[in-house]
Amino acid sequence: MREPLPEEALRAAAEIVDDVRARGLAAALEWSRRLDGVEPGDVVVPPRRDQAADGAVVEAALEAAKSLERVYARLRPADVVDYYEGVLRAVSWRPVERAALYVPAKYISTLVMLAVPARAAGVGEIYVVTPPRGVTPELLTVAERLGVRGVVSLGGPQGLAYAAFQIGVDLLAGPGGVYVQAAKYLLSRYVGIDGIEGPTELVVYAEGVEPRRAIAGALAQLEHGPASFALFLSRDRSLVEAAEGIYLRERTSSMGALEARAVSSLEEAAGIIDEVAPEHLEVWGAPQLAQMVRNAGAISVDAPSPLLDYVAGISHVLPTGGSARWRGAVTPLTFMKPVGLAWLLADTRLREYAVRLAEYEGFKRHADALR
């Protein structure tokens, strides 16, 4: 279940956001110097093909982008047009004009997972916000290839506030620590956001698979830090015990916690998963479970979740803290909005029904306008 953002994080982020809103670039640079120890010379760096970039890393990122583009090309919704009783109606899906993508330092994969759907949506101007140490030759090269307009070399709340108030973006998207999420929450008063993300979480269901294979994805996700969490489920009690044993032997102080539990049926497992509504779900040896589950950010079947995180998935920017019950991954739809159109082509009997409703609700001038 989602935990509220800590008050300390909200207070700290609010001070920065309000300061950047009031004083602009000067405040953003001052906070960068205080928090990151760096005052960037160029706040907005133009992406470019940097000869110093590691070619193998760039190639891997662009291949991941190509994989995602195949999905997103089919995901962009079509406009809907309908004529009924003298009225031509349409719903047109239109992208936001400007978006800023928060990319934690050196997370080239996150750049891919955000820029590809933004570009597929047709966003006019895409900006990347990343800490100064994240402005690497690899990031600049991949950003240029993915159509990014500028890289804001400011981290945390100051970078997001700069994008919102100085660049004037319409939407902020991306993962990050608690101060980044607090800033997104505060900035949602002024711009759109994709969601508020918390620590990494994973549920694994496994049967008929070697324990090391079954637990590897959980160990990978717990690598994100002490606040991350994994739940291991199986109908095979010996597999539950073996997986738990591997975790206990290999855990470190920097890893998150794992809970291992035996279940009596796939139906019980599906119920637990839907209640947890995890960011990631791995299913091993029981592919039918993937169809039984309603609430999960992304599901990998007979594959570790990092495969989805890097190259195979819809996105790795996923709902956390139980929010998979009502929303999903970042996709082109994150950067789009439906716009309705009604064109009166002929007198319509629908008008009388509209008059009745307006009068019932007490809106006399609405009824007058309809008449």
The tally of CA atoms less than 13 A away on the side-chain side of residue 226 is 3
For residue 127, give the H/E element and its range.
strand 125-129
Full DSSP string of 298-330: EEEESS-HHHIIIIISS-S----TTGGGT----
Give pLDDT, residue 211: 97
Whole-number Cα distances in Å, 51 to 118, 141, 146, 294, 312: 26, 9, 17, 46, 28
Contacts of residue 83, defined as CB under 8 A and 6 or more positions apart, other chains included, come to 89, 345
Of 135, 130, 125, nearest to 99 by C-alpha is 125
pTM for this predicted structure: 0.94
Q: Is 213 left (phi over 0), alpha (psi -120 to 50) or beta?
A: alpha
Q: Which residues are catalytic?
A: 279-280
| pLDDT tens for the 371 residues of the chain, in order | 456 799 999 999 999 999 999 999 999 999 999 999 999 989 999 999 999 999 999 999 999 999 999 999 998 899 999 999 999 999 999 999 999 999 999 999 999 999 999 999 999 999 999 999 999 999 999 999 999 999 999 999 999 999 999 999 999 999 999 999 999 999 999 999 999 999 999 999 999 999 999 999 999 999 999 999 999 999 999 999 999 999 999 999 999 999 999 999 999 999 999 999 999 999 999 999 999 999 999 999 999 999 999 999 889 999 999 999 999 999 999 999 999 999 999 999 999 999 999 999 999 999 999 99
Phi-psi region of 121 (alpha: psi -120 to 50; beta: other; left: phi over 0): alpha
279: tokens are: 């960011």
Q: Is 238 in contact with 267 (CB distance < 8 Å)?
A: no
Helix H or strand E segment including 108? helix 108-121
pLDDT of residue 314: 87
The full set of domains in the chain, from first to last, is 7-194 (3.40.50.1980), 201-325 (3.40.50.1980)
Give the pLDDT confidence score for residue 313 in this predicted structure. Answer: 81
Residue 128 and residue 151 in contact, taking contact as beta carbons nearer than 8 Å: yes
Q: Give the whole-angstrom CA distance, residue 291 versus residue 313.
A: 17
pLDDT of residue 2: 58
